[in-house]
Structure 1
Amino acid sequence: MRPLLAALVAVALVAPPASAEPGLGFDLDAATIPSLVQRMDAGRLTSVDLTRAYLGRIRTVDTKVHAVLAVDPTALSQAAESDRRRSHGRARGPLDGIPVLLKDNIDTRGLASTAGSRALRVAPRDDAELVTRLRRAGAVLLGKANLSEWANFRSTRSTSGWSGVGGQTNNPFVLDRNPCGSSSGSGAAVAASLAQVAVGTETDGSIVCPSGQNGVVGLKPTLGLVSGDGVVPISTRQDTAGPMARHVVDAALLLSVLAGGDYAANLTADSLRGKRIGVWRKAGADPGADRVVQSSVDLLRRSGATVVEVDLPYQDRIDAVEYPALITEFKHDLEQYLGSRPGAPRTLAELIAFDERDPVELSRFGQELFAQAAVAPPLTDPTYLEQRATATTLARRSIDEVLAANRLDAIMAPTNSAAWKTDYANGDAYVLGTSTPAAVAGYPNVSVPAGFAGELPIGVSFMAGRGADARLLRLAHGFEQVAHARRAPRYLPG
């Protein structure tokens, strides 16, 4: 071989690719937790280097996205401690040394944990249970992600991704578009590679919708699988924290820490073969979503799955009672939580008064939901009890009956339509969503990237019955491995 050609080949073999992260030599967007652990075990990467790279992206890339509300000042020292453990052969598992962002409605010792509200700027005394689990696993708590204030339960005309503390989070694919859902900062941050994984929370759609609109993976787990201790609530009858990640394997590994158990076992590329999948199309609402659903159906069939067309019953009846039930539960559950926060208002009435005095809180939209919840009946009210029983029972039946009648392993549906433009005058412009049955039932639901409408991501969701979290993650992983639908954002101006 001629000397010049030999030199070029040698450079090609050792030089980082064009998309490599400066200082790391590999593409953060494509890196999975197992690949990072492999590098760290081989001595080719340290947690300090990885954490420093993410902190650098927060300083630069997040000037466009505004997804990170606060950085933990101890992040690099946490990473250094992880490196010391690894050097002595005492790594605590796959998440040891991995940078994680937490939605800012999750109590974190030493960080404000505001739920986006300026009324909660005094830090909590203790970690939420899920944060304790992450610390035990050796994860690097990188900081807090912005969110839709009070988990998007303050105004009937709210704008997702805005909070009085963090301002407006943007969709990293097209910056004038909305990131969706209350876990907006968690979804946008993961999509923009501002952390390896993030923790979000959902009452109805707030993990899966930002996952779909930001082109990442998000699992809303079975209710009760992840502890809700120390998480600012809307309703303990529906709320759950869950993992958000660029890759299904990372979401599964994060869930393994949050919930206990091994949810990353048996993730294989051929997991769709022989499965029966119902497709709930929600057709006609959005042409882009319709095209992505059809291409996903074709992919399922090519992968050896049987696809059955289904429709989920009872949706109008569920919609009629879910919202009034949540209004009643919100007042009770939030005031119970506020009792644990020193220096915070103690009642919903005090929060309303705080917002009325504050120069920022009501600058974009009002607090109509707060006002409704302040006069809601108690949890002993017979009308409320009937609403909650009806909502939960029918939501469970809507999934269980369809699964049983068609002998299905799961139901697939479009997670979202293309992201709308952020609009403070009119609020969110939802076109379609499919989160409600699983959310109200307390059943698992995982969104995985499936395609695009122009530059904007669209996901599909897989849902099934109680405790089917591991099965859904296997199906989502199989879909991900054959779809190859995710791509990194380009931060277009719009």
Structure 2
Amino acid sequence: MRYHVLPLIAALAGCASLPVVPQADLSTPTGQVSAYLQRIEAVDDAGPRIGAVIAINPDALKQAQIAQGMAGPLAGKAVLIKDNIETADPMPTTAGSLALKDNVTGRDAPLVARLRERGVVILGKTNLSEWANIRSPNSQSGWNAVGGQTRNPHAIDRNPCGSSSGSGAAIAAGMAWAAIGTETDGSITCPASVNGIVGFKPTVGLISRTHIVPISHSQDTPGPMTATVRDAALLTTAMAGSDPLDPATARADLHAEDFTAGIDTASLAGVRIGVLRKQAGTDARVLAVFDAALADMKAAGVVLVEVPFDWDNALFRDEGLVLYYELKHDLTAYLAGLPGNPPVRSLADVIAFNTANAATELRWFGQETFERADKLTDRAAYEKARENSLRLAGRDGIDKLLAAHNVTLLVAPTEGPAWPIDYVTRASALPGVGAGSLAAVAGYPHLSVPMGAVEGMPVGLSIMGAQWQDKAVLHAGAAYERARTAAIPVATLKRWGE
């Protein structure tokens, strides 16, 4: 279901205030936006029906006209916004739930306001996993009751991964210049990896989370999803900064800078990078792609250091408790503060709404996580879990690995190739691939860059650093991008193997 009432281009052509360029002049913002709208109509509404865009902004072409008179590297750029991030445009922010299908707040999240000030055109909203994939451990990535299923453009019968699935799929299919996603644990980097694009999860607190449907104030962060690392750095520069309504960003102004400065000449020569070999999994095809990426880095002058690391299962146990406890409090606070008269004002209200609308909301999976979270009351246990998970991922995790092996960054495959979309037998990802939970729980920067393919399906390279080392991570990613020799697959918009 798409929340606009368009036959897209034809309807816009009938609006005198929103002229359409039939033969799009790609040198102008209006021409670029028109071309993207036509692309969305061709491959999202029709053809392979990727299902990446949940709403089109009816003011997009008007914004493009205004942007033509603005200066700066972002002026006129068409960006899609994940549908758990509020914008002042006449589109609802649904988080994929029917409970919020009419949630038009009329307000910009601070990150959107920052983009808008720089002339960014808000093209529309991207589909996502319902409630950012937190409703149930059996959830299907890319599905929600409002927008249906997002498909991977590289194989439309395969999964787009993560809750920012629509953002990843849209950029892979050429529906916008860039998109904004959000991550709690893997929801930017995994869809970036399996859709063959760049995804950057910044240090938690670099970019405001105000007016974003929350899961966890400890781990939530928005971030860019783009075709190149430079584009990701450009968007990060625009969005970064302190926000008095988000205490996590208190130090953001101290670390916000031009992340593109020097990025075009950034070098890997002499950089010591730790290789998380145990987190590369055991699949020979993934390992071959990873080894090729390491060879490219070595040829570019990187000093590769093998860094042994074994997961402590207490990290995942305690992360789960933290996310569930914060979900109850953070989501309830968000819903309670919404303008208008939404049918839900608390997590308990959402659970009741889903139960009352089980035929549509609960057809494919339940709401076990919601129900568990709503019962949590032990704050002391939560605080202990937060302290321990942060220690295991941060001080005794990434920080310790960097210091003990005298390395600047850590690398591993982000994820294996995309798995089939299957609501019945619940196909899943290759086991043992990826180390992103370290950066997610610690709140440290994590970049995924395409590094090749397995049977035509993209695989990403994770680059992780210490807290506030966002620029170092982005610059290393850009340098790797230039050194990469592997062929990067182009989306086929067909079923796998066709």
Q: TM-score, normalised by structure 1?
A: 0.88
Would you say the 8 A contact 1:161–1:182 is kept in 2? yes
Determine if contact 2:29/2:64 at 8 Å carries over to the other structure: yes
Quote the offset at 1:382 in angstroms.
Answer: 1.3
Q: Is the 8 A contact 1:155 1:367 kept in 2?
A: yes
Shift of 1:385: 0.9
Question: SS of the residue aligned with 2:411?
Answer: strand
How far did 1:487 drift?
A: 3.5
Give matches, 1:364-375, under 5 Å. Answer: 364-375=364-375
1:288 CA displacement: 2.4
SS in 2 for 1:268: helix
For the 8 Å contact 2:280–2:413, the answer to whether it is kept is no
**1:327 lines up with 2:324 in the alignment:** yes
Q: Which residue of 1 aligns with 2:183?
A: 202
Answering whether residue 75 of structure 2 is matched by residue 96 of structure 1, we say yes
The answer for the alignment partner of 1:437 in structure 2 is 438
Deviation for aligned residue 1:320: 2.1
Equivalent position of 2:238 in the other structure: 257
Q: Name the counterpart of 1:278.
A: 274
* Counterpart in the other structure of 1:80: 65
> What is the CA distance between 1:286 and its match in structure 2?
2.5
Tell me the number of residue pairs that the alignment of Structure 1 and Structure 2 aligns.
447
Q: Aligned partners of 1:308 and 1:447: how far apart in 2?
A: 20
User: Which amino acid in structure 2 is aligned with residue 118 of structure 1?
Assistant: L
Q: Where does residue 471 of structure 1 map in the other structure?
A: 472
Q: Tell whether 2:315 aligns with 1:318.
A: yes
Match in the other structure for 1:10: none
Aligned-partner Cα distance in 1 for 2:288–2:370? 39
Cα deviation, residue 332, structure 1: 0.5
Within the candidate set 107, 127, 146, 1:165 is matched to 146
Aligned to 2:254: none
| Kept after mapping to 2: 8 A contact 1:399/1:437 | yes
Instruction: Report if the CA contact (8 A) 1:175-1:492 is conserved.
Output: yes
Pairing 1:44-443 to 2, within 5 Å after superposition: 45-62=27-44, 63=46, 64=48, 65-83=50-68, 85-86=69-70, 91=71, 93-109=72-88, 110-121=90-101, 122-260=103-241, 261-268=257-264, 271-281=267-277, 282-341=279-338, 342-344=340-342, 345-358=344-357, 359-377=359-377, 381-396=379-394, 397-427=396-426, 429-431=428-430, 432-443=433-444
Structure 2: how far apart are the matches of 1:203 and 1:452?
Answer: 26
> Stretches of 4+ moved more than 6 A in 1?
none
SS at match of 1:295: helix
Aligned to 2:199, the other structure's residue is in SS state: strand
The one-letter code matched in structure 1 to 2:64 is A
Where 1:308 maps in the other structure, the secondary structure is strand
SS of alignment partner, residue 370 of structure 1 = helix
Query: Larger Cα Rg: Structure 1 or Structure 2?
Result: 1
The offset of 1:313, in angstroms, is 4.7
Aligned-partner Cα distance in 1 for 2:363–2:172: 28
Instruction: Indicate conservation of the 8 Å contact 1:176/1:421, yes or no.
Output: yes
CA distance in 1, matches of 2:427, 2:109: 30
Segments of structure 1 that go 5 or more residues without pairing to the other structure are 1-21, 26-43
Question: Which range moves more in the overlay, 214-223 or 321-330?
Answer: 321-330
In 2, Cα distance between equivalents of 1:412 and 1:433: 9
User: RMSD of the alignment, in Å?
Assistant: 1.5
Contact between 1:288 and 1:417, CA under 8 Å: does it hold in 2?
A: no
Identity score, percent: 45
Alpha-carbon displacement from aligned partner over 1:64-97 (angstroms, at most 9, x marks no partner): 21100000000000001111x14xxxx1x21110
Residues 106 and 212 from structure 1, CA distance in 2 versus in 1: closer, same or farther, beyond 3 angstroms? same
How many angstroms apart in 2 are the aligned matches of 1:442 and 1:402?
A: 16
Name the SS for the 1:349 alignment partner: helix
Return the alpha-carbon distance in structure 1 between the equivalents of residues 425 and 390 of structure 2.
Answer: 31
Contact 2:457 2:489 in 1 (8 A): no
Q: Is the 8 A contact 1:158 1:427 kept in 2?
A: no
1:61 alignment partner, SS class: helix
Instruction: Give the aligned residue type for 2:404.
Output: A
For 2:377 and 2:185, the matched residues in 1 are separated by 22
Task: Name the CA distance, whole Å, in 2 between partners of 1:305 and 1:211.
Answer: 24
Which residue does 1:31 correspond to in 2? none
Q: What CA distance in whole angstroms lies between the structure 1 residues aligned with 2:451 and 2:226?
A: 15
The amino acid of 1:361's aligned partner reads E
Deviation at 1:135, TM superposition (A): 1.0
Q: 1:155: how far off?
A: 1.1
Q: Secondary structure at the match of 1:360?
A: helix
Distance in 2 separating the partners of 1:479 and 1:356: 48
